[in-house]
Amino acid sequence: MENKTRAPKLSDRIRGRKLPHIGLLNREELEEIISLGEWFRENRYDMTYSDLLKGRVQALLFVYESTRTRMGFEAAMAQLGGHNIYLPVKETQMGRGESAADTARAMDQFIDVFSGRLWKQDDMDTFAKHLNCPVLNACTPLDHTTHVIGELMCIKQAKGKLEGLNLVYTGMARGILHSFVRVCPVLGINLTLAIPPSYTRTLNKEIMEEGKKRAEASGTRLEVCENLKKAVKGADFIQASTLIRSMLAGEQSPEEKEVEISQWTVTDEVLDAAGPGVLYSHSGPAHRNVCATDSVLDGARSRVPEEAKNAIFSKKALLALMVR
């Protein structure tokens, strides 16, 4: 049954903001976004904000296919009264060589918010520079703001809190990982990156240094471990993403050829090694028996369905706070 509570007042903390990466959000802002997302989840059919973004248009510029991110944005914008224009890059002039800056200048005439899934962080930064509307990162190699907000909601939903938790991330050294590195220390989360040795070469040095400084300031841990079973000991939650990049986007990295998949597949034995109470989720798509076994993905310790469900509420919270 839906838990109806009074609609919260929306602050102006991030109204009109450009967020090419999640590191631009402070703890108060992150907590407000998560809290509003939780309210939307618990009051799904409350119509208080159903016309909040009436007449507003969002551009979704994506270089490769998406299920959860695209559907989350489409549903969230519709439920807030707005409209989406979905633009595969290959169907735009940017796909034929137009610069990101010129594409942004053209799009600026038509839209009220931009969400981009782009090959390069530099392109995301260019759109943020040339657009005069809110900007959201919907996946680059160095960030995935919208997804990580939903993952944080899932973890809090499962554990009742975020501060003080021991979180293990496993998967690619791409956007989700780097977003966690930036925000976990801010929220008081101890983070262990359990990644194959070849993936450590692709860690962004500047973001890792930023994360270490934030961890020192907050008294949290930020560690890298190249052994999955060792990394998960004492974990409260294991958050995974795609292990092999080419299975997700067809963009093969040299590093993935060196990955011994059997050593990085999350199994029941891996969960047992973590200890009692550990829970698991995956940002999706979870390639079965590569990222995790069927018994993990479908088992009692899995929170994958809840995470997928949060894809809409996290984006709905971001849009409501940024665009109105």
Contacts of 205-208 with C-beta under 8 Å, sequence gap 24+, read: 207/23, 207/142, 207/178, 207/181, 207/182, 208/181
CA-to-CA distance for 324 and 319, rounded, in angstroms?
Answer: 8
Q: Spell out the CATH class of 18-143+309-323.
A: alpha beta
Beta 113-117 vs 57-62: how paired, if at all? parallel
Q: What is the pLDDT of residue 2?
A: 57
d(CA 288, CA 69): 20
Tokens of 147: 């997804």
C-alpha to C-alpha distances, 39 to 17, 30, 34, 42, 286, nearest whole angstrom: 22, 14, 9, 5, 27
- pLDDT number for residue 288: 96
**pTM recorded for the entire structure:** 0.95
Q: What is the pLDDT along the chain (324 residues), one digit of tens a residue?
A: 455 788 999 999 999 999 999 999 999 999 999 999 999 999 999 999 999 999 999 999 999 989 999 999 999 999 999 999 999 999 999 999 999 999 999 999 999 999 999 999 999 999 999 999 999 999 999 999 999 999 999 999 999 999 999 999 999 999 999 999 999 999 999 999 999 999 999 999 999 999 999 999 999 999 999 999 999 999 999 999 999 988 876 777 889 899 999 999 999 999 999 999 999 999 999 999 999 999 999 999 999 999 999 999 999 999 999 998
Residue 288 and residue 297 in contact, taking contact as beta carbons nearer than 8 Å:
yes
Structure confidence at residue 174 (pLDDT): 95
Write the CATH number of the domain with boundaries 147-308.
Answer: 3.40.50.1370
- What dihedral angle (degrees, nearest 10) is formed by the CA atoms of 291, 141, 222, 207? 170
Q: Which of 321, 324, 239, 322 is nearest to 282 (CA)?
A: 239
**What ranges do the domains of the chain cover?**
18-143+309-323, 147-308
User: Is 147-308 in the same CATH topology as 18-143+309-323?
Assistant: yes
pLDDT of residue 324: 87
